Amino acid sequence: MNETDLAWAAGFIDGEGCITITPRQKKQALCFGLALTVGNTVKEPLDRLVSLFGGHLYSQPPHGQGRREMWIWRVTGKAAQPVLKAIHEHLSVKQRQATIATVFPIGNRSPRSPLAAILQEECYKAMKSANGAGAAA
């Protein structure tokens, strides 16, 4: 992968992508998940993201009259962080979100350490703010 590929991917993700940290209930504890998602009605650029970084590509049927099929590329958890680190310097719009995502603690340990739980929640609040969702409650 060369710098041109990374710059192209960053531009496409800046324009069409979404970096999120979402809460979910897991057993008795609140957990958080990281996702990098890009949607488009044109499949070819998403195929290119798959060839560069892996991840999953799937389609969504049209919702409503006059709508087209939507293609979604998604990479989650530990797999999202190397993608965001690779394109970080080329991002402009989503650089803050990428920074938060790359420090988000992801692990396979269950239960999480108390420190990891605190850091995940702080990253969630910071991401919510960075994505324009206002202050987290």
> Please, what is the average pLDDT of the chain?
90
In a domain, 114, yes or no: yes
Q: What's the pLDDT tens digit per position in 99-132? A: 999 999 987 666 678 888 889 999 999 999 999 8
In a domain, 135, yes or no: no
- The pLDDT score that the predictor gives to residue 94 is 96
- The pLDDT score that the predictor gives to residue 115 is 86
Length of the chain: 137
Describe the chain by its helix, strand, coil percentages, rounded to 5: 45, 25, 30
Q: Which helix (H) or strand (E) holds 37?
A: strand 29-40
Residue ranges making up the domain that contains 83: 3-130
For residue 53, pLDDT over 70 is answered with yes
Q: Average pLDDT in the 15-44 region?
A: 90
Distance between CA atoms of 52 and 47, rounded to whole angstroms?
Answer: 9
For residue 60, pLDDT over 90 is answered with no
In a domain, 85, yes or no: yes
In a domain, 121, yes or no: yes
